[in-house]
Amino acid sequence: MDDETRVLLSGAYEHLDAHASGLTELRIVVLALTKTIQELGPEAAALYAKHYEAESLGPLRPEDAIRHATISQLIERLNGG
């Protein structure tokens, strides 16, 4: 393995490691929210669906697309592209 590949893989690992606890916390929040909505009933589920749809079309989408493109470029470089 050459030095550039080693550095890219190391950076990718550090990035994933740094975000692992945040992702775990996010999963806990999502599970708690889902269970709360289920307990509150159909009206809460409808409100959640309405807000989820609105937010999924909002400003977070472009940032996600940019991150995905950046990661795709890194993977392409690792594969020799």
What's the number of domains the chain is made of? 1
pTM above threshold 0.85: no
In terms of residue numbers, what domain contains 52? 3-78
Q: What are phi and psi of 28, to 5 degrees?
A: -65, -45
- Token reading at 12: 């990718």
The DSSP letter of residue 67 is: H
Query: What pLDDT, in 10s, does the model give residues 28-37?
Result: 999 999 999 9
- Token reading at 51: 């807000």
Query: What pLDDT, in 10s, does the model give residues 41-55?
Result: 999 999 999 998 888
